[in-house]
A and B are shown apart, each in its own frame.
Chain A
Amino acid sequence: MREASRDRLKAFLTLLPSIILIAVFVYGFIGNTIWISMTDWGGSGALAFDPQKNFIGLDNYVDLFNGFLSAGFRQDLVNAVYYSLMLLAGAIGLGMFIAILLDQKPKGEDVLRTIFLYPMSLSFIVSGTIWRWLLAPQGGVNVLPTYLGFDALDFQWTSSTKAILEFNWQNILQILIYIAAFILILVGLFLLKGDPQKAVKRWLGPGVVIGAFAWLGGSLLPKTLFMEEMHGFNLATLGIIIATVWQYAGYTMALYLAGFNGISQDLRDAAMLDGASSTNYYRYVAIPMLKPITISAVIILSHISLKMFDIIFAMTGPDNAQTGHPALNMYMTTFRANDFARGAAIAIVLFLVAGTFIVPYVIGQYKQRRRG
């Protein structure tokens, strides 16, 4: 008993410095940022030795989401969602594909592996600059066909002003409710086989009711803005997404390759003996086994997509609504417009978005541990 408590004390003392450091430099600073985001620190005199800060509650957040002047932030937020989805789909899809190909042990596998992993060692500024040259509307990729005697392409990779999948921010409430209803119904259908009663009662029923409400009572919902404001997926972001996927596909490839190599050869032989084709082996055996790897790839990549900054800065510059990102907006708001409070508010919004990725993961891990 005494031995054990002494061990505990030792462990606690060993951890104490890092607990203090993390408490101050991570959680303390997060707290301070939250506090700043609820003040009016900004404008002229913001940089004084003793700047004036008054508590104004959630005004900064309200303004970000429905203020007339914050249209840029809302477009950036929409961009960030598309960046995340495309980066996840692109990097994981491509990375997994390359990993499967390399898992067939082709000749020169080591060299190929290095080639695919190499882009990750470049800094975003370097690769961003190279990709900017490659995707310049009057050069790079667009003039490639002329070497073969065809006409040059005229796709405006990073400077297109067209957008698809546009929606009106005025109706954001209705759209959010639709999405919630959609998710509820989806989960309900997924659970229908296992426990029909619970699925209908907990998921399907509420989903349908909420969806019907959004559909029928949509006009009753308050409008977020007094004028319509269209946001969508800008084609100009395609260039940046390509560059990012190129940079991170190698990383997910390395993750999956390590996973595939970790699956014992016996298992593979057994699957083959049972008559599984190569496709079926990956589909039903290998990839499901690598679920933890997929989850960590999603977590890491979604964070990278939320922190995208330098590559956008290098490829399209700081003021470009088409390709903007909240992280870039935060920097510009804070250090160019001297609006520290609003910059802090953007930072907290980003923090909360990151939380929506992290929290389900942490809960999942916790549950698993308790079960195990």
Chain B
Amino acid sequence: MKQSLIKLCLVFAAVMLLAVPQVSQAKELKGDLEIFSWWAGDEGPALQALIGLYKGQYPNVNVIDATVSGGSGVNAKAVLKTRMLGGEPPDSFQVHAGQELIGTWVKSDRMEDLTFLFKEQGWMDAFPKGLVKLIGTDKGIWSVPVNIHRSNVMWYIPANLKKWGVEAPKNWNDFLKIAPKLQKEGITPLAMGANWTATHLWESVVIASIGAEKWNNLWTGKMKFNSPEMIKAWELFGKILPYTNTDAASLSWQQATDMVIDGRAAFNIMGDWAAGYMETTKKMVPGKDFAWLASPETEGVFIFLADSFGLPKGAPNRDNAIAWLKLLGSKKGSDTFNPLKGSISARTDTDLSKYNVYLQSAAKDFAKDAVAASLIHGAAANETFMGGFAQVMEMFLKTKNAKATAMASQQLADKAQIGK
């Protein structure tokens, strides 16, 4: 008698548990929404604009902006890992689209498949097919991209080049010809910053050397890192390095860009956030005060990286997070965020009139260029490879031994199971 009563209670409780979320779903959203990102500093206002938009739509939701600052998310990612391992995931977190997410969190089975959202919102057609492929696996689509950045851009100041009597080089041979001349006059030909900007430069040089197709093959295992072509690419990189500044290791990317702005260096290869820095922080006019080209011999290639947000399994406020993701992928959200962040929208139907001259040219290139995934910004390889590659790069900067470095990167690729 007693037992059946307990059973009855249990069944009743189970029914209640199942029924309650459905009831609350029908009601207006409330509670918390914790957004985890590394957008502080220059990028903060763009995120705030998005949060403002969200609050306008769902005034009852308390948005917690959990920002952990630090370049390219070094610190944020470490904090995120301890939180996820401790069973305390945020509702939605920022992550570089591509292998960084897939190799870490999707492989660990900690993300929710967002295919339903893409179908429901019509995003399958709104985002380029190539991009959707890169953020998904055969098991689903894992994140909502909010922006697209280009990594292979060479920045310079036209007035300075005129003064020095040089032209922006179209290929590395031209560069190697004009570089000694510049160096003789006490000008650094190519400004570079800390370790990661060396890798940033390296990916542009490698694509110049082997082409976008073979670059993409590297990450599927069809091309080996120790192949003769890659050794040649490392050698080319080694030829360029002597023309960079000797104090690179202690500079941030902004300081490297400053060298170009101040006329202490001729060129800088950096992602297009440099345009945002020069325009917003330094109040320079794009196209007039500063100019750009695709980095030498990468004309027609768009090395891309994207920031995106995903939905971890067990997010405490799942409904609020889904509403947030819907906003991120929408045209309105995208066009609010990107002009402020200094990036282009991932959507094909974006309103270009809201963007500046540089971003308009980048958007045009994105529509027609071959797309290659950036290594240093998490699109090409998983974190095991990226973490190890920082050491491989240091090894090359120190020894300048192309063959040993190529061998080391292949060993690392095997360890990180690239292409498996």
Contact = CB atoms under 8 A, between A and B. Distances in A.
Real complex partners, A and B? Answer: yes
Given A45-B108, A336-B78, A339-B384, A136 B395 contact: no
A158 B382 CA distance: 31
A319 B85 contact: no
A72 B394 contact: yes
A322 B383 contact: no
Interface in A120-141: 132, 135-138
Contacts of B357: none
Contact of A320 (B82, B394, B395): B394
B108 A69 contact: no
Nearest to A163: B398
Contacts of A51: 108
A300 to B, nearest CB: 28
B31 interface: no
Contacts of A318: 74, 195, 390
Given A46-B108, A47-B84, A158-B249, A321 B395 contact: yes
Contact of A161 (B81, B246, B384, B388): B246
**Majority secondary structure of chain B interface residues (helix, strand, loop or mixed):** helix
B250 A137 contact: yes
Contacts of A315: 250
A44 B415 contact: no
B247 A156 contact: yes
Given A47-B85, A319-B194, A321-B395, A69 B415 contact: yes
Given A46-B108, A68-B411, A159-B250, A321 B387 contact: no
Contacts of B407: 68
A331 interface: yes
A338 B384 contact: yes
Interface stretch (B22-30, B59-67, B99-107, B289-297): B99-107
A69 B398 contact: no
Nearest to A332: B387
Contact of A322 (B77, B249, B386): B249
A301 interface: no
Interface in B391-420: 391-395, 397-398, 404, 407-408, 411-412, 415-417
Contacts, number: 126
A338 B416 CA distance: 11
B90 to A, nearest CB: 15
A337 interface: yes
Contact of B81 (A47, A71, A324): A47
A270 B13 CA distance: 88
Given A69-B388, A319-B394, A338-B387, A138 B382 contact: no
Most buried by B among A132, A136, A332, A336: A336
Interface residues of B, number: 45
Nearest to A324: B394
B55 interface: no
A317 B195 contact: yes
B73 to A, nearest CB: 10
B167 interface: no
A15 interface: no
B248 A159 contact: yes
Q: How large is the interface on A (under 10, 10 to 19, 20 to 34, 35 or more residues)?
A: 35 or more
B408 A47 contact: no
A136 B78 CA distance: 28
A43 B385 CA distance: 9
A59 to B, nearest CB: 12
B109 interface: yes
Interface string A203-243: 00000000000000000000000010000000010000000
Nearest to A156: B247
Interface string A66-84: 0011011000000000000
Given A159-B248, A336-B78, A337-B386, A71 B391 contact: yes
Contacts of A135: 250
B196 interface: yes
B196 to A, nearest CB: 7
Contacts of B82: 335
B109 A337 contact: no
A69 B386 contact: no
B200 to A, nearest CB: 12
B110 interface: yes
A42 interface: yes
A318 B390 CA distance: 10
A42 to B, nearest CB: 7
Most buried by B among A317, A332, A339: A317
Given A46-B108, A317-B194, A236 B247 contact: no
Nearest to B395: A71
Contacts of B404: 227
Given A72-B395, A321-B391, A156 B246 contact: yes
A356 to B, nearest CB: 26
A49 B109 contact: yes
Given A44-B382, A319-B194, A335-B77, A136 B250 contact: yes
Contacts of B105: 47
A33 to B, nearest CB: 15
A43 B195 contact: no
A332 B397 CA distance: 19
Contacts of B417: 43-44
B108 A336 contact: no
Contacts of A236: 249
Given A72-B395, A321-B394, A322-B249, A43 B416 contact: yes
Contact of B196 (A44, A159, A319, A337): A319
A338 B104 contact: yes
Contacts of A338: 81, 104, 383-384, 387
A189 B260 CA distance: 61
A246 B195 CA distance: 27
Given A47-B84, A69-B415, A331 B384 contact: no
For the complex of A and B, the 7 pairs showing the least CB-CB separation, nearest first, are: A337-B387, A319-B195, A321-B394, A72-B391, A335-B78, A137-B247, A48-B108
Given A161-B397, A338-B383, 12 more contacts: A43-B415, A44-B108, A47-B81, A69-B388, A69-B412, A159-B247, A159-B250, A236-B249, A321-B398, A332-B390, A333-B387, A336-B386
Interface of B: 74, 77-78, 81-82, 84-85, 103-105, 107-110, 194-196, 246-251, 382-384, 386-388, 390-395, 397-398, 404, 407-408, 411-412, 415-417
14 contacts: A43-B415, A44-B417, A45-B108, A47-B110, A49-B109, A69-B388, A159-B248, A236-B249, A316-B194, A316-B249, A317-B195, A320-B394, A336-B74, A339-B384
